[in-house]
Amino acid sequence: MQLFDDFCKSFNKELQRENFGFAYKRVHLFYRSQWQKDDSNVLYLLYRWIWALFFLGVYIMCIIVQFCDGKFFIYMTNWGYGLCTITMLIAAVQVTCWHYDLWNTRSLVQESGNKTDTTRGLKIYWWLYNMTISLALIISTVYWVFLHGKMNKPMRFPAISVITHGLNTVMMLIDFLVVAFPLRLLHVVYSMALAILFFVFTLIYHFCGGTDEFGNPYVYPILDWNNPTRCLVTFVGIFVLIMCYWLLLFGLYKLKRMFNRAFSVVWTPHAVGLI
């Protein structure tokens, strides 16, 4: 019961207007893992670069084999995977700057007692991360439930499809459990804005006579604007799905923080009888 009450209080606290923004005092959390003890950790640095280089390598390969005269860029899957790649590269660079104290990144924060405001780079990273993780979940759900085997075209690269529609989400969820910075409940609006942008793009693409690489008059069958009712139903469904996933992610974030605090207490020298 206490856990539920704490969650409700935290939920209400999140619904403050200032939480639409990206100001946050404990900026050191953007540079470290939720589970590391020291300010910098070489394993976390390696983890960030492995993740970033994997996403970059796959994305380059996808562009090479699926470019199709630019049709590669009309798909939400490729928008999402591209955002994943950019986000992971930014994270790797940020952690590198922190680890090696490039441009006094770590020194300035430590001298202020970890109470400085988020920089513009961190705000961009936080903004991208929010959109990336929710978009990955949406892409995987919509593809495997509504589109797999129903696209009216052959699947030419099944391995790439599994990576970009499934493994990307698994990796983003793992990363979500690893990172230390918070998830703001009201940041869901940015994921919704991205969804609106894509829907508007598909509508404009339709009126301009755009097709997929096989000549079908749509980007996705469920977004065929020759059937606007189905498109609107899809639009509403995506919005509901985004909100549901964001609430689940918020709950997962709170559980992650709770477990981290519990383990921190258990493994202190006092708790294990070392002092």
CB atoms within 10 A of CB 29: 16
Cα-Cα end-to-end distance for the chain: 34
Domain count, the chain: 1
SS3 33: strand
**What residues make up the domain containing 70?**
22-266
Does residue 11 belong to any structural domain of this protein?
no
Does residue 252 belong to any structural domain of this protein?
yes
Q: Cα separation of 129 and 184, whole Å?
A: 11
Does residue 6 belong to any structural domain of this protein?
no
Among left, alpha and beta (phi > 0; psi -120 to 50; other), residue 40 is beta
Does residue 273 belong to any structural domain of this protein?
no
Give the CA distances from residue 135 to residues 173, 185, 243, in Å, rounded to whole numbers and listed in that order: 12, 15, 12
Counting as low any pLDDT under 70, the low residues of the chain are 1-11, 264-275
Residue 149: the pLDDT is 83
Does residue 272 belong to any structural domain of this protein?
no
Residue 4: the pLDDT is 63
Q: Cα separation of 68 and 240, whole Å?
A: 33
pLDDT tens readout for residues 42-77: 999 999 999 999 999 999 999 999 999 999 999 999
Residue 147: the pLDDT is 92
Does residue 194 belong to any structural domain of this protein?
yes
Residue 275: the pLDDT is 40
Give the CA distances from residue 152 to residues 130, 155, 212, 213, in Å, rounded to whole numbers and listed in that order: 32, 10, 11, 11
